[in-house]
Chains A and B, each alone.
Chain A
Amino acid sequence: MKIKKIMISISVPILIILSMIFYLNQNIVVSETKFLMDTAIEIKLYGKNYDRKNLEKLITDSFEIIKEVDANSTSYVPLEGNAASLNRHSGTYYRVNTDVIEQLRTSIPFYEKTSGEFNVGIFRTVSLWRNAATANVLPTKEETTYTLGTSTPNDIKIDNLNNVYLPLDLEIDLGAVSKGYSLDKVAEFLRNSGVKSALINAGGNIYAVGKPADKKYFKIAIQNPNNINKIIGTSKLKDGQAISTSGSYNRYYEINGKKYSHILSGKTGYPVDLYKSVTVITNKGIISDILSTSLFLLSIEDGKKLIHSLEYPVEVLYVTLDDKIFATEGFPIDYSQVKDYIDK
């Protein structure tokens, strides 16, 4: 009887402790979606139940970073040192914040690399098309050529004190850069905060930190450009990889009942519709964002040349206008789940 007494009095606290440990050690996903940068941004952090409060705080902090990048990079709302203010100070040196500097340094060279198709100095043309969509009148070739001006991103000058000189006929638009850039910034913050596993999704650009608890890599579904409720397949995203997609199926200018792609050629200023969608995988968010737009503006041949000229690995998948899929050899695409996927 004494033995039974001892057994009960030991086993009860052990059971309590074990169930608490089990409960606290459970794998959880903390996730939040916010509307920022004119799109839906979702951050998912994978961790343990005991860390829940900390993870929730980190998500809040991550969204603060994105809000800051948004305010710094917008061409629409002028704030001291941001892109919109820079645009209002063309023709003179103007001090901008680090976010603008970094995005400019990385994106300007792609003008040359894409023979002028990817142009960060295209804001006046973007404005022209936005206003045209509101007024429901197609812009003329003259208007478009006028907004392109004669200066190119190569004429932008940056000194070592964060001062930027924009030529008088050029204004910058970081719309094809800042979402990817914000992914890298948030990823760095999360890694520095000790987060081992996270997925950041900024409207068509996804970045992976680590891997989810139960798998070797993140599984990403790629939306079917013909039907948003369907996918064309799933892809793998490993630690430190970013995947971005460009396409005109979700965003476009509508003029006189016709839809025009929101991706403009840096050369002609006109919307380009070479593919239904282009998806890129590489190892930096800012690059995958820039490349998904750049490759959308180039033929597959020219796209290949661009990729080969880069020092880092890039994989691409094209969905052509006649619904064919072309992917580079290393692009991880799995078609097996296409039928099972239900967007619920």
Chain B
Amino acid sequence: MIIPKLKTILINKREIIIVALFLTIALVSYLITNNNKQGAIVRIEIGQVLYGDYSLSKNQEIFVNDSHGHNLLKCRIKDNAIRVTYSTCPDKICVKQGRISSSGQAIVCLPNKVVISIINSSDTINKIDGVLK
């Protein structure tokens, strides 16, 4: 019963436009909600200064250097996560911390005053809301 009626509807130009519009909107909203995950950014700051923002979805190695060009830390972004692979600090706490991948997480290297944080990812609320260190 539906199929013959569908055929009759599709003949009309107005109906084609409306259906196409509906599909476009559905596609766009799907892209918007998905894009938020792709938009996750890694922000690296040394003290009060922004060192750089990097896309979490692009595999790369980042050298974090101080104002004199001396290397303080090395990090690697891989598979939508970042971790510190090398640091000049004595205890390597930042290296031992491992990978972070969602908004709100941060790796901090106190001796080097480096903060690596994830912003813009629209991940849902984590089960643990804060860590007391």
Q: Measuring CB to CB, which residues of chain A are less than 8 angstroms from any residue of chain B? A: 1, 4-5, 8-9, 12, 15-16, 19-20, 23, 26-29, 31-36, 39-40, 42, 44, 46, 199, 201, 203-204, 206, 212-214, 218-223, 228-229, 231, 234-235, 237, 243-245, 250-251, 279, 337, 341-344
Q: A220 touches which one: B48, B108, B129 (CB < 8 A)? A: B129
A261 to chain B minimum Cβ distance, whole angstroms, is 16
A36 to B32: give the CA distance in the assembly, Å. 34
A214 to B129: give the CA distance in the assembly, Å. 11
A5 to B127: give the CA distance in the assembly, Å. 47
B15→A31 contact, CB < 8 A = no
Please report whether the interface of chain A is mostly helix, strand, loop or mixed according to DSSP.
strand
B100→A204 contact, CB < 8 A = no
B129→A229 contact, CB < 8 A = no
Given contacts A42-B106, A228-B97, A344-B101, contact A220 B25 (CB under 8 A): no
B99→A344 contact, CB < 8 A = yes
7 residue pairs, one from A and one from B, having the closest CB atoms: A31-B104, A33-B106, A40-B108, A218-B129, A33-B117, A221-B131, A223-B133
B132→A222 contact, CB < 8 A = yes
A23 to B35: give the CA distance in the assembly, Å. 13
A250→B18 contact, CB < 8 A = no
B131→A343 contact, CB < 8 A = yes
A29→B125 contact, CB < 8 A = yes
A19 to B123: give the CA distance in the assembly, Å. 19
Given contacts A12-B18, A40-B115, A344-B98, contact A35 B132 (CB under 8 A): no
B97→A229 contact, CB < 8 A = yes
Interface centre among B8, B97, B122, B129 (most CB of A within 10 A): B129
**Residues on B with beta carbons closer than 8 Å to the beta carbon of A36:** 48
In chain A, what residue has the closest Cβ to B19?
A: A8
Is the C-beta of B113 less than 8 angstroms from some C-beta in chain A? yes
A36 to B119: give the CA distance in the assembly, Å. 18
B68 to chain A minimum Cβ distance, whole angstroms, is 19
B132→A33 contact, CB < 8 A = no
Q: 25 A-B pairs, CB-CB below 8 angstroms?
A: A1-B5, A4-B5, A8-B15, A8-B18, A12-B21, A23-B32, A23-B33, A28-B122, A29-B123, A32-B119, A35-B113, A36-B48, A42-B104, A44-B129, A46-B125, A199-B130, A212-B129, A214-B125, A218-B130, A219-B129, A220-B130, A228-B93, A237-B129, A245-B133, A343-B97
A237 to B129: give the CA distance in the assembly, Å. 10
Given contacts A23-B33, A218-B129, A243-B132, contact A35 B47 (CB under 8 A): yes
B93→A344 contact, CB < 8 A = no
Given contacts A1-B5, A4-B5, contact A221 B128 (CB under 8 A): yes
A203 to B29: give the CA distance in the assembly, Å. 39
